[in-house]
Homo-oligomer: A and B are copies of this chain.
């Protein structure tokens, strides 16, 4: 069966009114539509008051024959338009609502094709770079209107994206028929203008996890006036709809064999399970990997260092940037590569500290270290791309501070994974697949993450990158009502482990703050330098 988009157009042909058939226009449309509906659309037909006059006039103008445009709600169909011909396209916006960045696709609901793709900075950054500072700002802000300012900022960013995307394909925001949103719980609250106060306070309770669809215009998103907003449900304060998207995209919840999904954005969110059961947890593991936090960190955009390798024979460093543009920063995968390579090159020790040249065993290695390792404001820093080769007025470098943050993140990640598997008595070797999602997963080399002790030491084919699955999930629900319904039920199936209060996690976190681990036997493939 063809998947059913959340907005669809159905051909309708009604007989013209006569003295023998004096049904009213709207009732005539409903009756004819009911006869034309495919089985999967067999549900109550509603004509919202706001559409009634317009739909009736359009229906009459084309002699009662044309295409009814329907918002496909779970328990009813809303007739929102009547068109003379099958429309050229029905654009809808799929949105990955990130704390620092938004990424969006304009999708044609008729064909499923992507019409345009773009990203934007989350304008809320003006009021706080991270989630906690925004939650704080929402409580007061300037003139006690913090929540309102935050909502306006994110809506402004979204409207800017809609403007950009629609202009790329010769249409206008009023042509956009639906918006799907996948984001973390706090971002969804701020978008909806809901106070996230309790999200960061024990026992960490969101105001809402699974909001019912609502009209975009209710929060001033510029679309067709009857476009609905569909928000992917969250499961908890630190477990957002972005991960539900990942579950949809990976099919974790439908597989017989047990597998794992790791999504790292600002938080690390992990799900473990199969078609029988799902267990999940989330924790702060991502900041070092996401743009805007680490000094040189940036998202995976043009000029971001995405891969680094150090030739340990010739002591040369090879840097790959996105679009081969001059380097301006390091994205998540580049950071992981860099630290892993620096460990293997013994520039960084197992504690995650720059060692200095004394570890050098050869003149070439010493020259390499002298060339790259500098003192910066009293701290060591590794110059990855010197100023003269960089794409900005600064060199691209890794400071000890950023390295420390990276070590905390990698430790947190491994601790999260072990805590979770331990909860259900599953071994890493039991996993058929580990799906890696998020900006983090886009270009990550699992080999390097294993070297760091960030991901378990498993055969590389176990790992499968699934890209920005938050965006993919948002795209998917627009095109497939079943995926939307599935998203709403997944939450109910997941056992969620709160790590912020989990002792087991804290112990595992401490044990993970070495490269690869305090217990190197867990990582047989990683060399240990003593």
Contacts and interface: CB of A to CB of B under 8 A. Distances in A.
Interface of A: 17-19, 22-27, 43-44, 46-50, 52-53, 56, 74-76, 192-195, 198, 202-212, 214-215, 218-219, 234, 236-237, 496, 498, 501
A50 B236 CA distance: 22
Given A19-B203, A49-B218, 5 more contacts: A19-B501, A22-B204, A24-B205, A25-B208, A56-B208
A204 B198 CA distance: 58
A504 B311 CA distance: 103
A26 B14 CA distance: 42
Contacts of A501: 19
Given A46-B212, A49-B215, A496 B19 contact: no
Contacts of A237: 22
A210 B19 contact: no
Q: How many copies does the complex hold?
A: 2
Contacts of A22: 203-205, 236-237, 496, 498
B52 A207 contact: yes
Q: Which 5 A-B pairs have the closest CB atoms?
A: A49-B214, A24-B206, A26-B208, A24-B209, A75-B75
Contact of A205 (B25, B50, B76): B25
Nearest to A25: B207
A272 B258 CA distance: 67
B211 A53 contact: no
Contact of A210 (B27, B75, B194): B27
A221 to B, nearest CB: 12
A48 B73 CA distance: 13
A25 B202 CA distance: 14
Given A53-B194, A76-B75, A24 B203 contact: no
6 contacts: A24-B205, A27-B210, A44-B75, A56-B208, A75-B75, A76-B76
A207 B47 contact: no
A203 B49 contact: no
A207 B56 contact: yes
A76 B75 CA distance: 7
A198 B28 CA distance: 14
Nearest to A212: B46
A212 B47 CA distance: 6
Contacts of A27: 208-210
Contacts of A50: 218
A231 to B, nearest CB: 10
Nearest to A206: B24
Contact of A207 (B26, B193, B210): B26
A300 to B, nearest CB: 31
A491 to B, nearest CB: 8
Contacts of A25: 198, 205-208
A196 to B, nearest CB: 11
A521 to B, nearest CB: 33
Nearest to A199: B24
Contacts of A56: 194, 207-208
Contacts of A192: 49, 52
Contacts of A194: 52-53, 56
B498 A203 contact: no
A198 B17 CA distance: 11
Contact of A214 (B48, B214, B215, B218): B48
A24 B208 contact: yes
Nearest to A239: B22
A496 B19 CA distance: 10
Nearest to A219: B49
Most buried by B among A25, A49, A76, A210: A49
A192 B54 CA distance: 13
Contacts of A206: 24-25
A129 B384 CA distance: 86
A147 to B, nearest CB: 10
A195 B52 CA distance: 11
Contacts of A236: 22
Contacts of A23: 205, 209
